Amino acid sequence: MHPGDEFVLWEEEDIIILKKVKKPLLNEFIEHQKTVDLEGSLSFFEIADRLSKLNEIDPISEEEIQEEIQAYKQEKRNLA
């Protein structure tokens, strides 16, 4: 153990486990980034635009929620 080291601590039954958190070295990260094909990949904004188009749902109003609740209650009463 050295000053500045970070650890995860958890308990399993009657055992306490202490595990050192390994952080990637900056040089390793830089080398990894060199292998990533940034030209052929989508930009963050292109990906965000695609995701937002998939999630184009209007929010449900409180009035619509209340209408659904009332319709459900009415349906349950009709079945009883």
Query: What confidence score (pLDDT) does residue 9 get?
Result: 81
Q: What element of type H or E holds 78?
A: helix 62-79
pTM: 0.30
Per-residue pLDDT of the chain (80 residues; tens, 9 = 90+): 788 788 888 887 778 888 887 776 656 766 766 776 656 566 777 777 777 777 666 677 888 888 988 998 998 888 87
Q: What is the pLDDT of residue 42?
A: 64
For the chain, give every domain's residue range: 7-79
| Strand bridging mode 15-20 / 7-12 | antiparallel
Q: What is the dihedral of CA 7, 12, 15, 16, to 10 degrees?
A: 20
